[in-house]
A = this chain, B = another copy of it.
Amino acid sequence: MALARKPADPLHAFAAHDHGNCSRDALARAEAITTAAGARLTPVRRRALEILLEDHRALGAYDVLNRLAGEGFGNQPPVAYRALEFLVAHGLAHRIQRLNAFTACTHIGNAHSPAFLICRSCSTVAEAAAGAIRTALDAAADEQGFVVEMSTIEALGLCPACRSAAA
């Protein structure tokens, strides 16, 4: 299919972009990926992803739960936690540790473990390629004989727009 040939957009959350497209595209990729994995993007899961895709922010599990509950899905915590867990497990969303919150992946389909850039002013969350960072981390760990299996890299700061606004 077309999706398979099209590389992930180099677009990031801070750049001006057609977010309707961004969001629709993510959903289409999500369908493709889960199908390929033999998993099912059921209504709750799909809706949870759509909710996360509404903007490039992170939502708490209870924020998602309230939205789902208001739309006729279950209204108990496991409903949200399970849907979010599924999305994270399939690389459709990420968990932001600092925020105890979840954000839709902006590079669905590309295996990655990104660094997150969190704007302290507008709360937008962007993903950054973590390759070089991870290399530096592995090197630092290696000095102590430690082998890194997974890493959490999250930065708090100001996005370009909020920085301009502040100046």
Contact = CB atoms under 8 A, between A and B. Distances in A.
Interface residues of A, number: 40
A74 B145 CA distance: 41
Contacts of A117: 141, 144, 146, 148
Contact of A155 (B12, B14, B151): B151
A149 interface: yes
User: Helix, strand, loop or mixed for chain A's interface?
Assistant: mixed
A146 B126 CA distance: 9
A140 interface: yes
A77 interface: no
Nearest to A95: B98
A154 interface: yes
